[in-house]
Amino acid sequence: MSPQTSQAAALTEQDFSVADSLAEILEGLDRTQKSLSPKFFYDARGSKLFDEICELPEYYLTKTELAIMRAHIDDIAALVGPQASLIEFGSGSSLKTRILLDGLDRLAAYVPVDISREHLMTAAESLAADYLDIEVWPVLADFMQPFELPNPSVMPLRNIVYFPGLDDRQLFTGKGTQPVDCNARGSGRRRRAPYRRRFTKGPSCYRASL
């Protein structure tokens, strides 16, 4: 993909299994205390509804996060460094991401990862049109399951996993005592390693395996 192209790159899709999703739903509803993963709320309508919730005066989280990011974007950019790949879990409309795209140094690529196809592609196309010098590679995936990352034309010096507004209930396993994290390879510390990686969820962490 040429950096001057105003369209997002081809969509990378995770192998979804309807049977697995159905099994997950039934397992949650079979519990004494019923539960359902929030990911099942995020179809096109659910994603649009969440965006509307974020605009409500009572919903202060988004406004607070935006204010924090604007105040500290220089520090964030210094820590990230040049020519990184920004991988966003649960990207949604990518509102907060624009602060990073404006402030980071020569991004190699932006990789939004979301479970809502329509919402993901709308946001990706909008960003690709507004940031002609940044490659946008949308990935349709449940980030709590294994998925492949695309290959941008510029080799990233590091991979930065960005997860704003995270719900830590999504990142804890078992009884909530062991956090899910990205290991050194997933965060891009091995700068000369091939970019193509497969995010896999282990018992206590994400592993980005070559």
Question: Where residue 89 sits, what CATH number does that domain have?
Answer: 3.40.50
How many structural domains does the chain have?
Answer: 1
What is the pTM assigned to this prediction? Answer: 0.75
pLDDT value at residue 15: 74
Show the tokens assigned to 10: 């081809």
- Give yes or no for residue 199 having a pLDDT over 70: no
Model pLDDT for residues 187-198, shown as the tens digit of each residue: 333 333 334 444
Distance CA 161, CA 111 (A): 9
List CB contacts of 207: < 8 A, sequence separation 6 or more: 183, 185, 186, 199, 200, 201
Nearest CA-CA partner of 86 in 140, 136, 12: 136
pLDDT tens-digit profile of 2-27? 444 455 777 888 877 667 788 888 99
CB hemisphere CA count around 164 (13 angstroms): 22
pLDDT tens, position by position, 57-89? 999 988 999 999 999 999 999 999 999 999 999
Residue 2 lies in a domain: no
Q: How far is C-alpha 118 from the chain's CA centre?
A: 15
pLDDT value for 168: 52
Higher per-residue pLDDT: 174 or 91: 91
Q: What is the pLDDT of residue 44?
A: 81
Residue 5 lies in a domain: no
Is residue 1 domain-resident? no
Is residue 7 assigned to a domain? no
User: Mind listing the pLDDT tens digit for each residue in 119-169?
Assistant: 999 999 999 999 999 999 999 998 888 888 888 999 999 999 998 865 554
- What pLDDT is attached to residue 166? 58
pLDDT at 86: 96
SS (H, E, C) the chain: CCCCCCCCCCCEECCCCHHHHHHHHHHHHCCCCCCCCHHHHCCHHHHHHHHHHHCCCCCHHHHHHHHHHHHHHHHHHHHHCCCEEEEEECCCCCCCHHHHHHHCCCCCEEEEEECCHHHHHHHHHHHHHHCCCCCECCEECCCCCCEECCCCCCCCCEEEEECCCCCHHHHEECCCCEECCECCCCCCCCCCCCCCCEEEECCCCEEEEC
Using the predicted structure, report yes or no on whether residue 110 has a pLDDT greater than 50: yes
Cα–Cα distance measured from residue 140 to residue 117, given in angstroms and rounded to the nearest whole number: 6
Mean pLDDT is lowest, of 43-57, 106-120, 183-197, for: 183-197
Q: Which domain holds residue 114?
A: 12-209
In angstroms, the CA 52 to CA 208 distance is 34
Does some domain include residue 3?
A: no
Among 41-55, 157-171, 192-206, the range of highest mean pLDDT: 41-55
